Amino acid sequence: MERHSSSSSSSSSSPNEEDDLQNLLDENDEIPPSSQQPPPPPTFDVESLRSRLRRNFKLNLTKRQCIVIFLPLLLVFLYLSTDLTNYFSVPDSVYRPNHEPGRTQEPDLQALYLLRKQETDLSSLWNRTLSISDMKAAVFRQISLNRQIQNALLSPHKTESLSLYGGSHCSRVDQKLSGRKTIEWKPRGDKFLFAVCLSGQMSNHLICLEKHMFFAALLKRVLVIPSHRFDYHYSRIIDIDRINTCVGRKVVVSFEEFWKSRKKQHHHHVHINRFICYFSKPEPCYVDKEHFAKLKALGITIGGKVDSPWEEEDIARPSNKTAEEVEASFRSDEDVIAIGDVFYANVEREWVMQPGGPLAHKCKTLVEPNRLILLTAQRFIQTFLGRNYVALHFRRHGFLQFCNAKNPSCFYPIPQAAHCITRLVEKVDAPVIYLSTDAAGSETGLLQSLLIINGKTVPLVKRPPRDSAEKWDALLYRHGLEGDSQVEAMLDKTICAMSSVFIGASGSTFTEDILRLRKDWGTASVCDEYLCQNEQPNFIADHE
What pLDDT, in 10s, does the model give residues 259-314?
887 776 655 668 888 888 888 887 777 677 777 788 888 878 887 777 788 878 88
Whether the per-residue pLDDT at 53 is higher than 80: the answer is no
Which residues, 6+ apart, have CB-to-CB distance to 208 below 8 Å? 195, 197, 199, 341, 342, 343
Which residues, 6+ apart, have CB-to-CB distance to 476 below 8 Å? 372, 373, 376, 482, 487, 491
Q: Are 212 and 359 in contact (CB under 8 A)?
A: no
**Stated pTM of the model:** 0.69
| Angle (nearest 5°) at CA 215 between 221 and 509 | 135
Q: Please, what is the average pLDDT of the chain? A: 79
Neighbour tally for 167: CB within 10 Å: 10
Q: Who has greater pLDDT, 411 or 37? A: 411
Neighbour tally for 213: CB within 10 Å: 23
Whether the per-residue pLDDT at 10 is higher than 70: the answer is no
What are the pLDDT digits (tens) for 397-424?
Answer: 889 999 999 888 999 999 999 999 999 9
Whether the per-residue pLDDT at 222 is higher than 50: the answer is yes
DSSP label at residue 64: H
Rounded CA separation 115/87 (Å): 12
Whether the per-residue pLDDT at 152 is higher than 70: the answer is no
* Range with the poorest average pLDDT among 56-60, 349-353, 425-429, 532-536: 56-60
| pLDDT, mean of residues 86-96 | 38
**pLDDT number for residue 200:** 86
Q: Are 84 and 127 in contact (CB under 8 A)?
A: no
Rounded CA separation 207/210 (Å): 5
Stated as kind and residue range, the H or E segment containing 453 is strand 452-453
**pLDDT number for residue 489:** 95
> Among residues of the chain, what percentage have pLDDT more than 90?
44
Q: Are strands 456-457 and 452-453 parallel, antiparallel or unpaired?
A: antiparallel
Q: Who has greater pLDDT, 321 or 53? A: 321
What are the pLDDT digits (tens) for 328-345?
Answer: 999 999 999 999 889 999
Which residue in 243, 536, 511, 268 sits closest to 407, CA to CA?
A: 536
**Residue type at position 224:** V
Q: Are 377 and 473 in contact (CB under 8 A)?
A: no
Which residue in 192, 247, 254 sits closest to 227, CA to CA?
A: 254
| pLDDT, mean of residues 513-532 | 95
Which residues, 6+ apart, have CB-to-CB distance to 467 below 8 Å? none
**pLDDT number for residue 92:** 39
Rounded CA separation 105/152 (Å): 11
Instruction: Indicate left, alpha or beta for 95 from its phi (over 0: left) and psi (-120 to 50: alpha).
Output: alpha
Which residues, 6+ apart, have CB-to-CB distance to 460 below 8 Å? 392, 432, 433, 435, 444, 447, 448, 451
What are the pLDDT digits (tens) for 439-461?
Answer: 999 999 999 999 999 889 999 99
**pLDDT number for residue 431:** 95
**pLDDT number for residue 64:** 52
Rounded CA separation 498/390 (Å): 9
Helix crossing, 63-81 with 46-56: angle to 10°?
Answer: 110
Which residues, 6+ apart, have CB-to-CB distance to 185 below 8 Å? 213, 216, 217, 247, 249, 251, 359, 360
Residue 66 pLDDT class (50, 70, 90 cuts): low
Rounded CA separation 100/107 (Å): 13
**pLDDT number for residue 107:** 66
* Range with the poorest average pLDDT among 131-140, 389-398, 405-414, 503-512: 131-140
Note the residue count of the chain.
544
**pLDDT number for residue 121:** 75
Which residue in 1, 47, 58 sits closest to 25, CA to CA?
A: 47
**pLDDT number for residue 369:** 95
CA atoms within 13 A on the CB side of 346: 8
CA atoms within 13 A on the CB side of 288: 4
**pLDDT number for residue 311:** 77
